[in-house]
Chains A and B, each alone.
Chain A
Amino acid sequence: MKNFNLPALGAGLGLRHEHFEEILEQQPPVRWFEIITEDFFEYGGYAREMLERIRAQYRIIPHGVCLSIGSTDPLDLDYLKRLKTFLDLLDPPWTSDHLCFTMVDHTNLNELIPLPFTKESADNVAERARRVQDYLERPLLLENVTRYITVSQREMNESEFINTVLDKGDCGLLLDITNVHLNAAFHGFDPLEFIQSLPLNRVGQVHLAGWEPDANGLVLDSHDAPVPPEVWQLFRATLDLMGPTSALIEWDNQLPPLSRLLEESVTAERLMREVCGDWAQSGAVSHAAP
């Protein structure tokens, strides 16, 4: 199995309101766009109309933030129902969310909170991931999150936790290379060794992002800057390990012009060509929607 048996789409960009009209007018050479699922899935209006027009020309891959897969609250069936309706309409090859929790005790934390690396937690995620995939009838990728804290690694470390979740849940990994880099810096481990310890055959997509320290010098996973050289290097090394993939440039804040984002995607594509050869030819991937 490679890429969790999913197509390698090449470099993609996040679809943002600010770029809607330019995308429709200019039809930039983007292979695919990622959307934040909850920004669209239960709404009509302007954003939804723009999505409908853009997806007529481009492949759209949804990425959620509210699944709260690691929570001990029951799975939100209302959320899942709305999600399934939306996914059935969009028909993407996969969907994704984060390996964390965002709600507990029916209270929304509005943030991706890391989970304890315990057997109980891994089993909980795995069981819920299986149920979600069965219900959605579509592959689910879970993204490794930036974590400013370690809740617990008494029973296993982060790599072992991710491996256990993916194996028992039979789900895929959205490998956020920036998050690996940041966590390695925060918690003192080697990022490449960490990536090598993961089941890379289950990686269906990667994220690449940059950050600017905030006013107090605090480094946060802010998605507000170009991908820095050290993350590009880690991406190259990852490509060497796992081959071509679908790589999203995740620049959501302090949003630059679309042309600047395209430059980042060109860099990602160039690296894929350098490491993986003419992979796109064999995959026959174009920027047109299927």
Chain B
Amino acid sequence: MPLRDTLSALREMILDEPSLPPLLDERRAILRTRFPGLTADEADDLAQIPADKLAVYTGTVFRGERNIILRLFPLTTALLGRAWEELYGKKLDALALTKAIHRSHPWRGFRTVDLVQSFANHLLSNQREALVHEPAIEHLLRFETVSLDVARKASKENSVPSAPTETALTSLTVDQLLARTCKVSDNCAFAVFAYDVIMVESYYYRSECKLPPVLEPQSLYAVASRNHRLRVAWTAVSRTLHDGLIQLGAGTETSVEELAAAFLSGAPEGKSEAELFRDFLAELIPLERAGALFL
């Protein structure tokens, strides 16, 4: 089918940037060999397309993809860039990276998440040296991927009521609070990181897009959710509460008492009941504020 070969040839000429020879006859011959379905006229038409005009499309395609990746993964690409400078003594060229992603894991499918998957697969397969040099890159990749997923997830709770107030919970007695039902948001996600990625994000935006000078390993249990402004909020939690929430699952309803029991089961010894309850409340309130829990 000549049309199919014509479109395939265009795809290859734009995305793969084959270096076609300057002579028209040679270009024509290469195209006919590469795409045998082309008629002589079609090969001639394609061969006559000026290379600089094709390059316009190559430029817009890859700049567009680069911009998507930089917009969705600012932390990951910033840290990857730093790793590159430390390892290779040169700046990471984001456009070249995008072309490398295409070569190893082409964007299949129409959705942005398909490009995200290509980016992630490329990093994990083709940037191993950088990932070994700076292990936090993988964690930031996962952090930003989960953030994207939570931000865009279709959810029954798309329209969230007005902002919760802290005093509403803190004014309750212990029994009143424990008796309340508690729903785990259906669009939240739970994750464990080996680096304090929440701190990294906060630092990055506070310091005009700079990364912390050093990233020390530090275990982090976290919950991502959408707050009352429908923005992604990450909340650090104890391992106990994290595991308890995972066991309950997103979208499930329970009582505060059951949640408290999960928290207490892993609580350190030596603390009084009052101290433990204060610790529990200190974790509960941020989760409600972040839209992860509805009480």
Rounded to whole angstroms, the CA-CA distance of A44 and B11 in the bound complex is 33
A259 to chain B: closest CB distance in Å?
Answer: 24
| Contact bitstring A152-194, B, C-beta under 8 A = 1, else 0 | 1010000000000000000000000000000000000000000
**CB pair B230 A49 closer than 8 Å:** yes
Q: Closest A-chain residue to B61, C-beta based?
A: A111
* CB of A71 within 8 Å of the partner chain: yes
Rounded to whole angstroms, the CA-CA distance of A101 and B2 in the bound complex is 15
Rounded to whole angstroms, the CA-CA distance of A42 and B112 in the bound complex is 11
- A104-B8, A111-B57 known; A149 vs B153 contact (CB < 8 Å): no
| Contact bitstring A27-55, B, C-beta under 8 A = 1, else 0 | 00000000000100011111011001000
| Contact bitstring B185-227, A, C-beta under 8 A = 1, else 0 | 0010000000000000000000000000000000000000010
Contact for A148 among B7, B53, B158, B159, CB less than 8 A: B53
Identify the stretch in B38-46, B167-175, B249-257 within 8 Å (CB) of chain A at 4 or more residues: B38-46
* CB of B19 within 8 Å of the partner chain: no
**CB pair A48 B56 closer than 8 Å:** no
Q: Which of A97-144 contact B (CB under 8 A)?
A: 101-111, 113, 116, 118, 120-121, 124
Rounded to whole angstroms, the CA-CA distance of A278 and B226 in the bound complex is 47
Q: Closest B-chain residue to A152, C-beta based?
A: B45
Question: Inside 8 A of A76's CB, which chain B residues have their CB?
Answer: 110
Rounded to whole angstroms, the CA-CA distance of A218 and B53 in the bound complex is 11
Rounded to whole angstroms, the CA-CA distance of A154 and B41 in the bound complex is 8
- A107-B107, A109-B61 known; A120 vs B41 contact (CB < 8 Å): no
Question: Inside 8 A of A38's CB, which chain B residues have their CB?
Answer: 110-111
* CB of A220 within 8 Å of the partner chain: yes
Q: Which of A61-119 contact B (CB under 8 A)?
A: 66, 68, 70-72, 76, 79, 101-111, 113, 116, 118
Question: Inside 8 A of B129's CB, which chain A residues have their CB?
Answer: none
Question: Inside 8 A of A101's CB, which chain B residues have their CB?
Answer: 7
**CB pair B45 A44 closer than 8 Å:** no
* CB of A24 within 8 Å of the partner chain: no
| Contact bitstring B39-76, A, C-beta under 8 A = 1, else 0 | 00110011001100110110011001100000000000
* CB of A151 within 8 Å of the partner chain: yes
Tally of chain A residues near chain B (CB < 8 A): 41
B93 to chain A: closest CB distance in Å?
Answer: 17
**CB pair A152 B108 closer than 8 Å:** no
Rounded to whole angstroms, the CA-CA distance of A104 and B37 in the bound complex is 16
Question: Inside 8 A of B53's CB, which chain A residues have their CB?
Answer: 148-149
Contact for B158 among A44, A79, A111, A151, CB less than 8 A: A44
Q: Closest A-chain residue to B151, C-beta based?
A: A45
Question: Inside 8 A of B10's CB, which chain A residues have their CB?
Answer: 104, 113, 151
B276 to chain A: closest CB distance in Å?
Answer: 36
Question: Inside 8 A of B187's CB, which chain A residues have their CB?
Answer: 44
Question: Inside 8 A of A108's CB, which chain B residues have their CB?
Answer: 106-110, 114-115
A155 to chain B: closest CB distance in Å?
Answer: 9
**CB pair B11 A109 closer than 8 Å:** yes
* CB of B23 within 8 Å of the partner chain: no
Question: Inside 8 A of B155's CB, which chain A residues have their CB?
Answer: 44-45
Q: Could you list 15 examples of A-B contacts with CB < 8 Å? A: A45-B226, A48-B158, A72-B1, A104-B10, A105-B8, A105-B11, A107-B15, A107-B108, A113-B7, A113-B10, A116-B3, A116-B45, A149-B53, A149-B54, A151-B45
Known: A45-B226, A49-B230, A109-B61. 13 other contacts (CB 8 A): A38-B110, A38-B111, A44-B187, A45-B152, A52-B159, A79-B110, A108-B107, A109-B57, A110-B115, A111-B61, A113-B57, A121-B3, A218-B56
Ordered nearest first, which 8 A-B pairs have the shortest CB separation?
A44-B154, A46-B230, A66-B110, A72-B4, A152-B45, A43-B152, A108-B107, A104-B7
